[in-house]
Structure 1
Amino acid sequence: MMSFMKRMAGNAAGEVMDTVRFFAGVAAVWLVIITVLFAPFHIPSESMQPSLEVGDRVLVSKWAYGYSRHSLPLGIGYHVPESVDLRIFPRNPERGDVVVFRNPDDPRNLIKRVIGLPGDVISVQGGRLFINGEQVERERIEERTYMPHGDRRPVTVTAYIETLPNGVQHHIYERSDFDSVDDVGPFRVPMNSVFVMGDNRDSSVDSRFSSVGYVELTEVVGRAETVMFTFKRCQRQEGIYCPAGRVWRGLQL
């Protein structure tokens, strides 16, 4: 009887250890994936509408621009000394890329579109974007009314297709061409940095504001590749824009 009980206890302990090893292996693989390859991020605000809506889950490639301390998962990069400020296998973003980055003054992830590259001069005049003195083309699509996240008052915007100098096209929203950040600049982008803006131009805190400013490349986490899926936050109401079909959706036209 005692030997039987010992065998049962031994078998149970073996099964427990097998289970522990299995989950440890799964955790190790998961950590490797979100450190080296891809990581999911969620969209908490409407600053990137209509390209990204509140509730979207975005897949971000960690390898797109090389690896820095902020490539480490679970926010570990914030605890690595700033003196360890290097990138391994570095590549620079391209104009029009949507990037996730860290704000040194606010320990959270931000996501915006790259507008200015090192050496560029960026300005906004009368609501129109200028890059190196050239006005960026935009085409009016329609007016839309949407319900901002956490607010019951609808907002009406004009939707445009914007075409950047390298041919990248994407949608933007403008409430008007006379908002507080519709006449700013010029900004000369320093080396090893980029200038970023939200697609929802009058509802985005981005490089036009000193609280964000130029984004150093060592602060960039990765490139947003696609919307994997969404937990839709808007409700269908007459006259209110509420997009559907946001699964494996690209971030450019």
Structure 2
Amino acid sequence: MFKAHNKDFHFNLPTSIELKLIKFSYFFLALLFLSCGEAKKEKTDEVQQTSEQTESTATTATETKSILFFGDSITAGYGLDDTNEAYPAVVQEKIDSLGLDYTVINSGVSGETTAGGRSRIDWVVKQDLDVFVLELGANDGLRGVDLSETRSNLQAIIDVVRGKSPDIKIVLAGMQLPPNMGQEYTTEFKQLFEEIAEKNNIAFIPFILKDVGGIASLNQQDGIHPTIEGHKIVANTVWETLRPLL
């Protein structure tokens, strides 16, 4: 004990309970500090992970190539309850099963003629394309359009696509007509597709309705447009020519 000015100064030592409280306070502060640090670290990791995922998605989207099917009611899937049952969608399933980075775009319009296709091709090719499948001409033939006009329109469409990019791979789908259109007309109609494909040195599908056309069970009641099963066969026919290009 120390005396000064007749007053005693006492230095009281903390009790055991007080010591425990002090230690607990320090422990709590340390725990709080660590927790804040871990939360900040977790938030940083989360942002970094999200950023990496976004970059990965953007890269994948950029690397994915496009296949555009430019056609009429056959391509559009006329008469089907769901366009996902049309042959372009079936082709997409084949592509996905092989893990190929291609996205199919269905640009089919029911009732489309080669003239109609020619009028809208400039708008269609504004998007980036890697493969262009041209399936037009059937409606020209059924309407008896002059073959020189059909030929001119198909060639014009091909020229526009190549003008967009010479690297776009073009596939021409051939078509045939029923014999009631006249032997001379139907023969020349069939040949014009072959000649255009040869002239432009592009991939060629001789008859897109191979093993489907004229078979009642594979066509709808109109006898022209394929059923779901018919579209599966059409997809197989298209795939035979398309797959080597991918």
Q: Which has the higher contact order (CA 8 A, sep 6+)?
A: 1
Larger Rg: 2
Larger proportion of helix? 2
Asked if these proteins are the same fold (TM beyond 0.5), I'd say: no
Q: TM-score range by the shorter chain?
A: 0.3 to 0.5
TM-score between the two structures when normalised by the length of structure 1: 0.32
TM-score between the two structures when normalised by the length of structure 2: 0.32
